[in-house]
């Protein structure tokens, strides 16, 4: 697998990022469907052997145990500099005051806690998981700048929020000469394209790399529409149940087109859907999860698929405007 630069930076990442949310202690946090280290190990090794060197997690995933598993498994792969580690801060990690959010207190505490769980001295990209309306933007950006200057993070990134909020944070950093975000991790897939309106043009114009989460729409674009997902995650993923509920007729048509193109090409639906995301100029690399071997294989194969203009037009034609979701 080839590499790409994250936005306008010099940081090389793999063309696919492995999302580590699926790995953690299922008894901790709200991810009852997560799997432990022994089940996760072959997926991480398979991904690394295929050329995936970039791994994304968050402090809140399985109450910190995802970071612990990520750190342990990545140390088994080789030297720290051979991989790129991304994690996030925002959600509640401890009870009481300053146990969540993007205050200076929370950020300084949580970066140290994340590094301890990951077993590393630094992360390559430290991301804010959401926008914090209760903390002044100056406080958040100043704290993140100090995290970078302390050597605990090489870069900083952001995740789902309104484009105006992201622009405000970037402008604040620029005014003060502070570190700016280099990446935006947002929801982007064939069933949720609202980021094309403002966020992605802004990112492209300012050199910010986009690393979409849920590029396969929680699996909805990987199987025929009537073949609903089953299993522990489909049953217990409460956040996932809030997504892709708008305009079912349009979604059904989109998924049908994915199926048709996949059949014509003799590849999986996942490969077509991922190739569409990866082919967008704003996107640096999609983030994919893996709990089955073919998930890794599909992600790697998708990186080499070039969709024709006609195929792209067919995939996009049934989409309808909708209220942004996921943040």
In a domain, 74, yes or no: yes
Closest CA to 284 of 188, 220, 217, 191: 188
pLDDT at 239 over 70: no
Range with the poorest average pLDDT among 163-172, 261-270, 316-325: 316-325
Going by their DSSP bridges, the two strands 3-5 and 17-19 should be labelled as unpaired
Q: What span, in angstroms and rounded, lies between the C-alpha atoms of 129 and 137?
A: 14
Domain span at residue 202 reads 3-217+281-307
The DSSP bridge partners found for residue 5 are 12
118-137, pLDDT tens digit by residue?
999 999 999 999 999 999 99
How many Cα atoms within 13 Å fall on the side-chain side of residue 260?
11
Q: How confident is the model at residue 27 (pLDDT cuts 50, 70, 90)?
A: confident
Range with the poorest average pLDDT among 80-84, 255-259, 274-278, 322-326: 322-326
Q: Is the backbone of residue 40 left (phi > 0), alpha (psi -120 to 50) or beta?
A: alpha
Q: How many domains does the chain have?
A: 1
Closest CA to 177 of 209, 145, 151, 153: 145
In a domain, 318, yes or no: no
In a domain, 159, yes or no: yes
Tokens of 42: 């072959």
Tokens of 191: 């069933």
In a domain, 24, yes or no: yes
In a domain, 263, yes or no: no
Closest CA to 63 of 92, 36, 30, 29: 29
- The residues, any chain, with a CB within 8 Å of residue 153's CB and separated by 6 or more, are 111, 122, 123, 124, 125, 126, 144, 147
CATH number of the domain where residue 146 is located: 3.20.20.100
Coil vs helix vs strand at 222: coil
Tokens of 200: 């992605």
298-315, pLDDT tens digit by residue?
999 999 999 999 999 999
Task: Work out the average pLDDT over 3-29.
Answer: 94
pLDDT at 144 over 90: yes
Residue 264, φ and ψ in degrees, nearest 5: -60, -35
The DSSP bridge partners found for residue 304 are none
Q: Which residue has the tokens 């090794």?
A: 45
In a domain, 44, yes or no: yes
Q: What span, in angstroms and rounded, lies between the C-alpha atoms of 149 and 27?
A: 36
Q: What span, in angstroms and rounded, lies between the C-alpha atoms of 318 and 300?
A: 27
In a domain, 259, yes or no: no
Sequence-ordered strand ranges (E) for 57-214: 84-89, 123-128, 153-159, 181-185, 209-210
Q: How confident is the model at residue 244 (pLDDT cuts 50, 70, 90)?
A: confident
Which residues form the catalytic set? 61
DSSP state for residue 26 in the 8-state scheme = T
In a domain, 275, yes or no: no
What's the pLDDT at 237? 55
């Amino acid at each position: 697998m080839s590499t790409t630069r994250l936005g306008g930076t010099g940081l090389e990442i793999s063309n696919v990022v492995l999302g580590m949310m699926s790995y953690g202690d299922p008894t901790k946090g709200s991810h009852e469907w997560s799997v432990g280290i022994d089940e996760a190990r072959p997926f991480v090794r398979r991904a690394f052997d295929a050329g995936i060197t970039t791994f994304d997690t968050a402090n809140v995933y399985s109450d910190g145990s995802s970071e612990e598993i990520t750190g342990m498994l990545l140390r088994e792969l080789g030297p720290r500099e051979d991989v790129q580690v991304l994690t996030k801060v925002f959600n509640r990690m401890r009870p009481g005051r300053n146990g969540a959010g993007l205050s200076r207190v929370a950020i300084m505490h949580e970066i140290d806690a994340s590094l301890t769980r990951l077993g590393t001295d630094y992360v390559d990209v430290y991301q804010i998981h959401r926008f914090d309306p209760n903390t002044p933007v100056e406080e958040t950006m100043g704290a993140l700048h100090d995290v970078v200057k302390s050597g605990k993070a090489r870069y900083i990134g952001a995740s789902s929020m309104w484009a105006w909020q992201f622009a405000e944070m970037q402008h604040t950093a620029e005014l003060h000469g502070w570190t700016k975000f280099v990446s935006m991790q947002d929801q982007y897939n064939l069933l949720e394209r609202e980021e094309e309106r403002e966020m992605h043009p802004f990112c492209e114009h300012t050199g910010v790399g986009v690393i979409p989460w849920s590029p396969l729409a929680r699996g909805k674009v990987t199987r025929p529409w009537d073949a609903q997902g089953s299993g522990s995650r489909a049953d217990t993923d409460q956040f996932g149940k809030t997504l892709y509920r708008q305009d079912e007729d349009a979604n059904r048509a989109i998924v049908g087109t994915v199926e048709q193109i996949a059949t014509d090409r003799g590849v999986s639906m996942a490969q077509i859907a991922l190739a569409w995301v990866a082919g967008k100029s704003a996107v640096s690399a999609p983030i994919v999860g893996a709990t089955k071997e073919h998930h890794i294989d599909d992600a790697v194969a998708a990186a080499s698929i070039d969709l024709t203009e006609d195929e792209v037009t067919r995939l996009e034609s049934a989409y309808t405007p909708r209220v942004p979701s996921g943040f």
